[in-house]
Amino acid sequence: MVAKGHRPLLLVALSARVMAESAARGGLRPVSLDLFGDADTRAASAHCVALPSRDRGFDEDALLAAARAWTGAELVYGGGVDTRPELLRRLVRGNRLLGNGPDTVRLVHDPAPFFAMLDRLGIRHPDVVFSPPVDTGSWLLKEAASEGGFGVRPCASGGGSVPPGAYFQRRLTGRVFSVLFLADGQSVALIGFNSLFTDSGNPEAPFVFAGAINRAELTRRQREVIADYADRLAKGLGLVGLNGIDFMLEGGEVRVLELNPRPTATVQLFDAERPGGWLSAHRAACRGEPVAHYPVSGPVRGFRVVFADKPLALAEDLAWPPWCADRPCAASVIELGEPICTVTASGSNFETVEHLLAERAARVLHRVELPWSRSLESAL
Cα separation values, 47 from 71, 159, 369, Å = 14, 46, 31
Q: CATH number of the domain at 9-97, please?
A: 3.40.50.20
* Residue 1 scores a pLDDT above 50: no
What are the pLDDT digits (tens) for 124-147?
Answer: 999 999 988 888 889 999 987 677
Q: Mean pLDDT of all residues in the chain?
A: 90
Looking at per-residue pLDDT, the higher value among 144 and 11 belongs to: 11
pTM for the whole structure: 0.92
The stretch 207-213 carries a mean pLDDT of: 93
CA–CA dist 332, 110 (Å, integer):
36
Q: How confident is the model at residue 248 (pLDDT cuts 50, 70, 90)?
A: very high
Q: Please tell us whether the domain made up of 174-294 is placed in CATH 3.40.50.300.
A: no
Give the pLDDT confidence score for residue 91 in this predicted structure.
97
Give the pLDDT confidence score for residue 369 in this predicted structure.
59
What are the pLDDT digits (tens) for 184-197?
Answer: 999 999 999 999 99
What are the pLDDT digits (tens) for 35-63?
Answer: 999 999 999 999 999 999 888 889 999 99
Count the alpha carbons within 13 Å of 286 in the hemisphere toward its beta carbon: 22
Q: How confident is the model at residue 322 (pLDDT cuts 50, 70, 90)?
A: very high
The stretch 91-100 carries a mean pLDDT of: 97
Contacting residues for 50 by C-beta, under 8 A, at least 6 apart: 34, 35, 36, 37
Q: How confident is the model at residue 313 (pLDDT cuts 50, 70, 90)?
A: confident
Looking at per-residue pLDDT, the higher value among 20 and 331 belongs to: 20
Give the pLDDT confidence score for residue 160 in this predicted structure.
58
Give the pLDDT confidence score for residue 152 in this predicted structure.
87
Q: How confident is the model at residue 379 (pLDDT cuts 50, 70, 90)?
A: very low
Residues 13, 79 contacting (CB under 8 angstroms) = yes
